[in-house]
């Protein structure tokens, strides 16, 4: 069996390839970001292909039995690139898979499709109200998946919460940097809201089930998130306690902080985009009962355990971390946040 992973150079892609390599004969990566071959198993083959290039996509997936479509433009990208990658790119992969007679394409969506609802937990049938171009593009891509499902293609859709783990950097690298420095860690609001995360190992296991279980079980949409999570104050506090260097949680008034963060983002002097600062003080958690009942999936790690595992990896590898870029595998420039760090 051969597997194609679009976005295989990224954080999730790396974990998919390394975990599933011994379960498939060959894994083919489609991505525009290069890979370090030493990080990947020998049966992983890299192709520098943009999912927006239909002909290249169709050619590259020709020998595939299954696809995990994880390639996506993140919220830090330009609006036009987010739409073209996340919508047009998804259409290309679906069309190519359909034409090539590929058995199954798992689409990695996001719980960003739900926006910022007042009711929790969030279920798969709840309204989709995306925040910003990223959330909107994920909704549009899911609609394409539904269209191709009706045409006969098996298209399981997974909606993961924000996932972390070894090699996860991006906005979390900023958190880990501040924790390591023994600083006060400002959180938006009082921190009594519950914000569910997800360990990437648990997500990979869910995706594997979607690839391998019978079509009648998986040809649907599933939320995935940690089953054990506390409040933001408690989970970040657990990370600070683990660091043991004086780092502590500092609550801040949302009504003061958010307008400044909105201004900083508009000026592009902060990496904290609307989804981050807009939801940080809100409850955000989904029901995973559907995945548990139908797929037999269970999460292994809690929020706090996932944060600590990711932080431990950061401490061991911080000297090797690339210092620029807009993916989850590099450190994001802190911009104006570095200025505030000096005074906390």
pLDDT of residue 343: 65
pLDDT of residue 183 exceeding 90, the answer is no
pLDDT of residue 242 exceeding 50, the answer is yes
Whose CA is closest to 208, among 229, 226, 227, 224?
224
Peptide bond into 121 cis (omega under 30): yes
pLDDT of residue 313: 93
pLDDT of residue 327 exceeding 80, the answer is no
pLDDT of residue 171: 83
- Per-residue pLDDT, averaged over 160-174, amounts to 89
**Residue range(s) in the chain whose domain bears CATH number 3.40.50.720:** 2-155
DSSP string, 289-342: HHIIIII-------HHHHHHHHHHHHHHHGGG-----SSTTSBPP-TTHHHHHT
**2-155, CATH topology level:** Rossmann fold (3.40.50)
pLDDT of residue 326: 44
Q: Which residue has the higher pLDDT, 330 or 99?
A: 99
Whose CA is closest to 14, among 31, 39, 42?
39
> Please, which pLDDT band fits residue 332 given cuts at 50, 70 and 90?
low
pLDDT of residue 256 exceeding 80, the answer is yes
Q: Which residue has the higher pLDDT, 183 or 256?
A: 256
- Per-residue pLDDT, averaged over 78-102, amounts to 97
- How far apart, in whole angstroms, are the C-alpha atoms of residue 182 and residue 241? 11
pLDDT of residue 322: 60
pLDDT of residue 219 exceeding 90, the answer is yes
- pLDDT tens-digit series, residues 114-156: 998 989 999 999 999 987 899 999 999 999 999 999 999 999 9
pLDDT of residue 344: 65
pLDDT of residue 169: 78
Looking at every residue in the chain, the average pLDDT score rounds to: 93
- pLDDT tens-digit series, residues 22-41: 999 999 999 999 999 999 99
pLDDT of residue 293 exceeding 80, the answer is yes
- Per-residue pLDDT, averaged over 286-290, amounts to 99
State residue 180 phi and psi, 5-degree precision.
-60, -30
Residue position matching structure tokens 């079509």: 215
pLDDT of residue 283 exceeding 80, the answer is yes
Q: Where are the beta strands (DSSP E) in 32-130?
A: 44-48, 66-69, 104-108
Q: Which residue has the higher pLDDT, 132 or 207?
A: 207
pLDDT of residue 340: 73
- Asked if 300 and 227 touch (Cβ cutoff 8 Å), the reply is no
pLDDT of residue 245: 96
**DSSP strand pairing (66-69 vs 104-108):** parallel
């Amino acid at each position: 069996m051969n597997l194609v992973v679009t976005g295989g150079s990224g954080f999730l892609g790396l974990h998919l390839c390394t975990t599933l390599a011994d379960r498939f004969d060959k894994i083919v990566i489609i991505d525009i970001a290069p890979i370090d071959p030493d990080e990947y198993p020998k049966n992983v083959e890299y192709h520098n292909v943009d999912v927006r290039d239909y002909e290249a996509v169709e050619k590259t997936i020709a020998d595939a039995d299954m696809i995990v479509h994880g390639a996506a433009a993140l919220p830090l990208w330009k609006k036009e690139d987010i739409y073209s990658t996340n919508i047009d790119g998804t259409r290309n992969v679906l069309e190519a898979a359909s034409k090539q007679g590929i058995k199954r394409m798992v689409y990695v969506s996001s719980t960003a499709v739900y926006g910022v609802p007042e009711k929790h937990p969030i279920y798969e049938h709840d309204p989709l109200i995306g925040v910003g171009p990223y959330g909107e593009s994920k909704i549009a891509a899911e609609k394409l998946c539904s269209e191709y499902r009706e045409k006969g293609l098996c298209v399981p859709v997974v909606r993961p919460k924000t996932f972390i783990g070894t090699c996860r950097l991006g906005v979390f690298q900023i958190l880990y940097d501040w924790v390591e420095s023994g600083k006060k860690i400002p959180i938006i609001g009082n921190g009594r809201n519950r914000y569910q995360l997800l360990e990437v190992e648990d997500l990979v296991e869910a995706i594997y089930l979607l690839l391998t279980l019978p079509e009648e079980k998986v040809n649907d949409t599933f939320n995935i998130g940690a089953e054990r999570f506390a409040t933001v104050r408690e989970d970040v506090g657990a990370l600070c306690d683990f660091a043991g260097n004086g780092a502590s949680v500092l609550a801040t008034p949302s009504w003061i902080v958010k307008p400044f963060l909105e201004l900083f983002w508009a000026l592009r002097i902060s990496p904290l985009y609307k989804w981050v600062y807009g939801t940080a003080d809100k409850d955000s958690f989904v029901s995973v009962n559907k995945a548990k009942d139908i797929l037999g999936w269970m999460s292994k790690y809690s929020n706090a355990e996932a944060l600590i595992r990711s932080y431990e990896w950061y401490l061991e590898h911080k000297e090797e971390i690339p210092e620029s870029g807009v993916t989850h595998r590099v450190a994001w420039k802190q911009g104006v946040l570095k200025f505030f760090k000096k005074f906390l």
